[in-house]
Amino acid sequence: MSDPLYRKELLRLAADAHGAGHLSVPHRTGHAHNPACGDKVTVEIALDGGRISEFAQETKACVLAQASASILGRTLKGASRESVETLCAEISAMLAENAAPPASPFGDYADFVGAVEFPSRHRCVLLPIEAVLAAFAAEE
């Protein structure tokens, strides 16, 4: 497939669906919805000392949001709210300003470079991150 939005790496990430499902005892839950396209993401996190110790996601969305959620499912263990806020800023800059992708462990976001030219799809990539930030903001 030669479509810059749907590179095989993104399709693979979406299919892997790291973190898909539910936690037995989530400490917090966050939701994000994109009314422009109908994408919905729900995340559950367990926290230990303000850092994510467990992560689960349910993504009813396009491949871009699914792949983004899968990256988070594989990499968020140990992340703090501040590191997720930084990730959100870095992804936003990468998409809007063609800035460099985030460093490890979030380097797979470089696979979204094809979305740079499609501003209407930027929110799809950011939606799972927004759901994590909503979970951090939720009361226990």
DSSP states along 86-104: HHHHHHHHHHHH-PPPP-T
Domain span including residue 119: 8-137
Q: What is the pTM of this model?
A: 0.94
Q: What ranges make up the beta strands (E) of the chain?
A: 28-34, 39-48, 51-60
Number of separate domains in the chain: 1
Q: Is residue 2 part of a domain?
A: no
Please check the confidence at residue 116 and state whether its pLDDT lies above 60. Answer: yes
Q: Is residue 44 included in any domain, yes or no?
A: yes
Q: For the domain that residue 92 is a member of, what is the CATH number?
A: 3.90.1010.10
CB 91 within 8 A of CB 111: no
What pLDDT, on a 0 to 100 scale, did the predictor assign at position 1? 44
Please report whether residue 46 resides in a domain.
Answer: yes
Rounded mean pLDDT of 2-24? Answer: 87
Helices 63-75 and 122-137, interaxial angle, to 10°? 40
